[in-house]
Amino acid sequence: MSEKSIFGYVNEKKDIGGIVFLEVVPDTDLKIVTVVAKKNFSKDAWKTAKKAKLGAAIKVSGIFPEKAVSRKGVELLAKEIEIISNPVDVLPVDPSGKTEILFDTRLEYRYFLLRTLKERAIFKIRAKALKFAREFFEERGFLEVHTPKIVGAGAEGGATLFTLDYFGRKAFLAQSPQLYKQMLMAGIPRVYEITPYFRAEKFHTTRHLNECWGIDCEIAFIDSQEDVMRVLEDLVHYILSKVSKECVKELEILNVKLNTQSKPFKRLTYKEALEILKNKGIKVEWGEDFSDREEATLGEEMLKEGHELYFIIEYPWETKPFYIMRKGELSEAFDLDYKGLEIASGGQREHRYEELVRNIKEKGLNPEDFEFYLNAFKYGMPPHGGFGLGLERLLTKMLNFSNVREVVIFPRDIQRLVP
């Protein structure tokens, strides 16, 4: 028998005569320790256990017996118990998970519910996914960068920008690191950034947030958008593979069987996507973006062919931002969809100064507003491209959730500003 001390939270308590059973969630472990306080073993520990309230933060020192009585497998026979903090109010939700909790209530008390194994599993996987993304890029010689989050111009126009007063000047919260990571291609050919996005979109859907996180990448000296797509599919495959191998316990708790899908991912043209939707009785005009319903329908059809992940390519240029390279009436842009949800977008950028100025004007924007950005294209800018991968959307589909808020501790949407 070995002695050990643990810190944790009491999420269940049973008082049966001379024995008090405390179910404790320790530290950040994905397990429950049943603390057994026996009157005839340690009277002081037993007395303290009787005083511990549901939700209390405690320290327990004791012995892990070779044979455990607890059905949950991990048991600690208490020699000493210290109540570090007893609740001063009734718990807002049931930490044992036996009582159903409304979704909005879960979001309100997410910080408290991290005491439960399910909620912990979600955010352990989120943290691991970011760790694996960094591993992927570092192993391939990419430089991690941090671009400004207070900017003077938006990458996608003003409709979805949060404005703020910057010492008497108008400024914005960054929608994306797009313009800055392109500028960096004038100096270094491979960069990545794990970054927040701020978008003032007045949507209240299961896939939209006003503050979200992305994994961004930009690569120079490319031949085509295919070079970028290969990096993206390698990244996603790497994250899925590593999560499936290193997060076995977390996936088990969430009852998720992860499919890593072989490469290369399917390439579906925009025209082919329109035909699929037409055959399902859904008409989308050329140049229109896909709605939630249309994306979901495409996802269902792709799944029938065995594709959870697939690219949509050859979009009309009119639907894409000014920085995307034009190819006649089409563009060198792509989206990556996962089970009917767009999780990433990217493409080859326009690196030629004159063409870029022309694109800005064609989109109804003023080149003078982008002078800081355009200057970088005067000094030998190589062909380049990149992508932005939405972390929350990737995790939502990876873990089979229906709402992106499931994978955010403190969501920010059109209705939620606190906590």
Please give the positions annotated as active site.
Answer: 199, 201, 207-208, 342, 345, 393
Evaluate whether 19 touches 39 at the Cβ level (below 8 Å). Answer: yes
SS3 of 198, please?
strand
Strand order through the sheet with 384-390: 143-144, 190-198, 211-220, 384-390, 341-348, 333-338, 309-313, 266-269
Please compute, for residue 329, the number of CA atoms within 13 A of its CA located in the half-sphere on the CB side: 4
Place of tokens 């399917």: 266
Structure tokens that stand for 360 in this block = 């800005």
> b/e per residue, 164-195, with b = 16+ CB within 10 A?
eeeeeeebbbbbbbbbbbbbbbbeebbbbbbb
Q: Give the tokens for residue 237.
A: 């495959």
Cα–Cα distance list, 259 to 225, 236, 268, 397 (Å)? 26, 12, 20, 11
For residue 326, which of 286, 285, 363 has the smallest C-alpha distance? 363
Structure tokens at 188: 């270094």
> Helices (H) and strands (E) in the chain — how many of each?
12, 18
